Structure 1
Amino acid sequence: MTTSLPVSVLVRPIRPEDNAAIAHVIRHVSAEFGLTADKGYTVADPNLDHLYESYSQPRCAYWVVEVDGQVAGGGGVAPLSGGEEDLCELQKMYFLPSLRGQGLAKRLALQAIEHARQNGFARCYLETTASLTQAIALYERLGFQHIEGSLGNTGHVDCEVTMLKYL
């Protein structure tokens, strides 16, 4: 008879040493859903390998999810590039399959929304792709509404689903 060991899950702010691990998670999940250059998706993100530095800016936050000491997911919030002062963007919400279905994405999104409120944002925007149906369903349950067209200057040319939530 085998028994499984208890899994330790920790949600914490990103640290410099997490850069490579969270970039790996994002690339892995993107490939899992076919969001790769060979499928016609634009995948160049100059900040992907430097998320700690990107989210160390004012009004920004990024959290990683550790499972037994290994980074297995993450998500964050930052002012929307090219957007109005009261508008933030929910960004880079990626979770390895082992984390899905446990409420961690919801927990992290709510944490990001609360951070946004505390930092003076009145609206939260996000962009995603239609193939990420579970993510879209979560965002809808959290009160995000579908909107026509994109806001700001995210550079996410492949993200055809745009959503907004009033905080």
Structure 2
Amino acid sequence: MTPNAQDASRIMDDITVRTFQPDDQSAVITLYNQGLLAGQVTPNDTGADIEYIHDAYFDSDRHHFWVATQHDHIVGMIGVASDDDHTAEIRRLRVQPDLQSTPIAAKLLATALEHCKTHGFLKIRLDTRFERDEAVGLFDKLGFQHTRTKNVQGKDLLEFYLDIYRQDQSNDD
């Protein structure tokens, strides 16, 4: 059942995005496993970053991991990591299945994008196996470009890219 706009607004009033805490671990693993069962995660994805969030996302001030909570219950998550000084990767964007038609993902992405800008990243990439129009529309609305689709183990992997440097320049005009 898809919530209407009024329901979504009421839901969002109760949503808080905050930094991951060690006590969140089991709820984050549950969200990860829901993505695994829904086919959002490739079979060769070990989930090591989810098992060791502090090692994967708090090894640098430029990396981070957040959870979205509703009445102290974790309903979403997102992480930012990088392989180089200029490009961030948004990872593990997940929202509880019954809340996926709400703006929770947008709130998580906005938090991650602001973090990337604050920490001097010039580019952001993300990929998803989730082909819902809502997800792709959200990425498009935020300025991400769909760069390619590749087949990985029989499922499409959609890759997206955002050039913050160009986006900031166009906002200065």
**Rounded Cα–Cα distance in structure 2 between residues aligned with 1:35 and 1:88:** 20
Q: How many residues align?
A: 150
1:22 aligned partner = 28
1:52 paired to 2:18: no
SS class of match (2:105): helix
**Rounded Cα–Cα distance in structure 2 between residues aligned with 1:116 and 1:160:** 23
**Rounded Cα–Cα distance in structure 1 between residues aligned with 2:149 and 2:87:** 15
Q: Say if 1:127 and 1:160, in contact at 8 Å, map to a contact too.
A: yes
Alignment of 1:103-114 (within 5 A): 103-114=103-114
**Rounded Cα–Cα distance in structure 1 between residues aligned with 2:41 and 2:48:** 15
**Rounded Cα–Cα distance in structure 2 between residues aligned with 1:136 and 1:49:** 28
Identical columns (%): 22
Q: Say if 2:20 and 2:65, in contact at 8 Å, map to a contact too.
A: yes
**Rounded Cα–Cα distance in structure 2 between residues aligned with 1:161 and 1:35:** 11
The two structures, once aligned, show a CA RMSD in angstroms of 2.5
Alignment of 1:5-16 (within 5 A): 8-16=14-22
**Rounded Cα–Cα distance in structure 2 between residues aligned with 1:34 and 1:149:** 16
1:135 paired to 2:135: yes
**Rounded Cα–Cα distance in structure 2 between residues aligned with 1:90 and 1:101:** 20
Structure with a larger share of its residues in helix: 2
Q: Say if 2:123 and 2:162, in contact at 8 Å, map to a contact too.
A: yes
1:63 to 66, 86, 96: 66
1:164 aligned partner = 161
SS class of match (1:108): helix
Gap runs ≥5 in structure 2:
1-9, 165-173
- When residues 118 and 127 of structure 1 are mapped into structure 2, their CA distance, relative to the original with a 3 A threshold, is same
SS class of match (2:115): helix
Deviation at 1:46, TM superposition (A): 1.6
**Rounded Cα–Cα distance in structure 2 between residues aligned with 1:75 and 1:159:** 21
- When residues 130 and 72 of structure 1 are mapped into structure 2, their CA distance, relative to the original with a 3 A threshold, is closer
Gap runs ≥5 in structure 1:
1-5, 151-155
**Rounded Cα–Cα distance in structure 2 between residues aligned with 1:133 and 1:103:** 14
Structure with a larger share of its residues in strand: 2
- TM-score under structure 2 normalisation? 0.75
**Rounded Cα–Cα distance in structure 2 between residues aligned with 1:43 and 1:29:** 11
